[in-house]
Chains A and B, each alone.
Chain A
Amino acid sequence: MTAALRDALLAGFVAAAMALPILGFRLVDSANGLSLAGRFDLVAWSAAIVFCGRLAVKLVLPALPRLPAPPAAFGNLRQIAGWGMAGFALVLPFLPFADRNLVDKATLVLIYVMLGWGLNIVVGLAGLLDLGFVAFYAVGAYSYALLSQTFGLSFWVCLPLAGVFAAGFGILLGFPVLRLRGDYIAIVTMGLGEIIRVILQNWQDVTGGPNGISGIERPSLFGLSFKAVPPEGQRSFAEVVGLDFSADHRVIFLYFLILVLALATNLFTLRIRRLPVGRAWEALREDEIACRSLGINPTTVKLSAFALGAMFAGFAGSFFATRQGFISPESFTFHESAVILAIVVLGGMGSQIGIVLAALLLVGLPEWFRELQQFRMLAFGGAMVLIMLWKPSGLLSHREPTIRLGETR
């Protein structure tokens, strides 16, 4: 009790010290110029809230009944949940309450799910803390935009190319990282991510600099256009299917496109975990020395993780470019990397479904709570704190074995 009280007092004191310069003073425009006015009541309030919150964490949390241990069939349950979520995602655009706005937001969430699944290969499986993942996303986006504008290539030709370019950059940026471990990888990848962004910003002739690239070609479905007036030699989707033209068709098409891309990423990850290279990633995360003593070459294993993670970011990037129709270096700041990493970590490193939940929470919630306006970030921060208190190792941190007895032969 006294320990909890002391702990809470300390937290309250820290809160007061931080709130004092941030909240405590305010510039007032008075008759004789600017003057400072104190707002110490706000400081007192924030300290009191933190004090109560900390006390509640210390006293109430241990008293709560513990969650029951997951049943033995939990692995099965998770599989059912996964299929359920995939099924729901498939029918979402046709549900009665799904308007254009909702499908659009769901598309955004799916982009982050896909990015999360891509980064999961690097961070969750191979254990390389990559803080510059957005660089590969940017490479994918610019690859598509430039190839399409310069050579007039279609989205479907550029998609694999963007993946290849991003994977190539993954290998290129992977080399300096190979000799490093842990936190140092994070610092170097963060720097490399920023380098890519700065290059995009300054290489005016090619990337258009801060003005970005606009008017990026929209994708078609097997040659069927989604424009009201299809370009020469193409027919529009609405005409062929026999629907009245609606701009919603394209929104729904884009939604399904990213859904397919994301599910492909997931399928790939689930499959590769059972292959020697996927298992080597996980083994490398667990113990590099043991891996070497088993004759595994850490260089190729790490590079393959980097390249494959980057490839999926490249796919997601070219999708992003085609969805937005406009890209600029603004979209690829460090903040994006941080959000993607937060999704992977909060999801529980290595858990595929956990990443979906975390993406919903971190990308979906702020979008849905736009009405809250400036309190939006407060809700975001609150959600983060709650997850860290409730599930310190991520939402779903249980690792599924890739093989069980009985499947060996």
Chain B
Amino acid sequence: MLRVEGLCSGYGRIQALHGVDIHVAKGEIVTLVGANGAGKTTLLMTICGNPRASAGKVLLDGEDITRLPTHLIMRKGLAHSPEGRRVFPRMTVLENLQMGAALGDPRHFDQDLERTLALFPRLKERLNQRGGTLSGGEQQMLAIARALMSRPQVLLLDEPSLGLAPLVVRHIFEIIAAINRDHGVTIFLVEQNAFHALKLAHRGYVMVNGKVALSGTGAELLANPEIRAHYLDGGVS
């Protein structure tokens, strides 16, 4: 579905990714974990075409999308819920969701809205409330819901657990699992919260200094003593 081959990218003269290879098959949840500054967000942003890849390829369904402008990449069935949520603060929840469907066929809107709100009943109660007045967890739900409104085949999630209480994190991860299971959306999840992410994912990659250091199934990586030492022990359980 989504394949990244030898991807290099960076900001100005600073190179952040040094030849990353990642593969996400249709219907999978694949997670990418790693420390701060490992290049996780840069990888997602480079897949979306901003910043541009300096070398390597991004393939979506076999089609090379590396050189496409961002807004065209996003029309290929890819949706991105950006780091830090980035909901439109002065627009209502409903307007935010409409923005997510901006490129879709307007005839699908009601159906998509219903489907999305069924996943996020909390948002249904707050449709006329402004995005900026929602709690952090609700904003995260809104960001994911907004991304879903474009009927994506692949959903890119950038740190959905950022700054949320453990209980809310668990709830959001349950929803992510449901999106994958019930709606057949392929999910590529970038996370710091390695424990939750690896438990949820079918497969995982570990990124260190702009390179993939390890990969395997979620259970394998969870059991890996090196990973336990670096990302799990002493952290959340």
A residues sitting closer than 8 Å to B (CB atoms) are 276, 279-280, 282-283, 286-287, 289-298, 399, 401-405, 408-409
Residues of B within 8 A of A295 (CB): 71-72, 74-75, 102-103, 150
* Complex-state Cα separation, A283 to B100, whole angstroms: 10
Residues of A within 8 A of B186 (CB): none
Residues of B within 8 A of A276 (CB): 102
B residues sitting closer than 8 Å to A (CB atoms) are 48, 50, 69-72, 74-75, 79-82, 86-92, 94-95, 98-100, 102-103, 109-110, 113, 127-128, 146-147, 150
Residues of A within 8 A of B147 (CB): 293-294
Residues of A within 8 A of B89 (CB): 286
Which one, B81, B94, B99, contacts A283 given CB within 8 A? Answer: B99
Which one, A293, A297, A402, A408, contacts B48 given CB within 8 A? Answer: A293
Which one, B70, B75, B99, contacts A280 given CB within 8 A? Answer: B99
Residues of B within 8 A of A408 (CB): 94, 109-110, 113
Given A287-B86, A295-B74, A297-B71: A403 and B95 interface contact (C-beta under 8 Å)? yes
A294–B74 touching, CB < 8 Å? yes
Residues of B within 8 A of A290 (CB): 82, 86-88
Residues of A within 8 A of B103 (CB): 294-296
* Complex-state Cα separation, A174 to B236, whole angstroms: 51
Top 7 A-B pairs, shortest CB-CB distance: A295-B74, A290-B86, A286-B88, A297-B71, A293-B80, A401-B92, A405-B127
A405–B102 touching, CB < 8 Å? no
B99–A403 touching, CB < 8 Å? no
Question: What are 28 pairs between A and B in contact, CB < 8 Å?
Answer: A279-B91, A279-B102, A280-B99, A280-B102, A282-B88, A283-B99, A286-B91, A290-B87, A292-B70, A293-B48, A293-B74, A293-B80, A293-B86, A294-B74, A294-B102, A295-B72, A295-B150, A296-B71, A296-B102, A399-B90, A401-B92, A403-B92, A403-B94, A403-B95, A404-B92, A405-B94, A408-B109, A409-B110
B91–A292 touching, CB < 8 Å? no
B88–A293 touching, CB < 8 Å? no
Measured CB to CB, the nearest residue on chain B to A295 is B74
* Complex-state Cα separation, A292 to B47, whole angstroms: 13
* Complex-state Cα separation, A343 to B203, whole angstroms: 57
Closest chain A CB from B41 CB (angstroms): 12
Closest chain A CB from B36 CB (angstroms): 20
Closest chain A CB from B119 CB (angstroms): 17
Residues of A within 8 A of B127 (CB): 405
A282–B150 touching, CB < 8 Å? no
Closest chain B CB from A305 CB (angstroms): 15
Could you say which of B86, B103, B109 has the most chain A C-beta atoms within 10 Å of its C-beta?
B86
Which one, A283, A292, A297, A401, contacts B50 given CB within 8 A? Answer: A292
Closest chain A CB from B230 CB (angstroms): 30
Measured CB to CB, the nearest residue on chain A to B104 is A295
A294–B113 touching, CB < 8 Å? no
Residues of B within 8 A of A292 (CB): 48, 50, 70-71, 74
Closest chain B CB from A224 CB (angstroms): 45
B95–A401 touching, CB < 8 Å? yes
Which one, A282, A286, A294, A298, contacts B100 given CB within 8 A? Answer: A294
* Complex-state Cα separation, A224 to B74, whole angstroms: 55
Could you say which of A289, A295, A399, A409 has the most chain B C-beta atoms within 10 Å of its C-beta?
A295
A401–B88 touching, CB < 8 Å? no
Measured CB to CB, the nearest residue on chain A to B78 is A295
Residues of B within 8 A of A401 (CB): 91-92, 94-95, 128
Residues of B within 8 A of A282 (CB): 88, 90-91, 95
Could you say which of B75, B80, B88, B89 has the most chain A C-beta atoms within 10 Å of its C-beta?
B88
A294–B95 touching, CB < 8 Å? no
Residues of B within 8 A of A293 (CB): 48, 70, 74, 79-82, 86, 147
* Complex-state Cα separation, A408 to B92, whole angstroms: 13
Measured CB to CB, the nearest residue on chain A to B44 is A293
Residues of A within 8 A of B87 (CB): 287, 290
Residues of A within 8 A of B102 (CB): 276, 279-280, 294-296
Closest chain B CB from A300 CB (angstroms): 9
Residues of A within 8 A of B86 (CB): 287, 289-290, 293
* Complex-state Cα separation, A279 to B103, whole angstroms: 12
* Complex-state Cα separation, A276 to B69, whole angstroms: 21
* Complex-state Cα separation, A290 to B86, whole angstroms: 6
B91–A294 touching, CB < 8 Å? no
Measured CB to CB, the nearest residue on chain A to B70 is A292
A279–B80 touching, CB < 8 Å? no
* Complex-state Cα separation, A131 to B78, whole angstroms: 38
A404–B128 touching, CB < 8 Å? yes
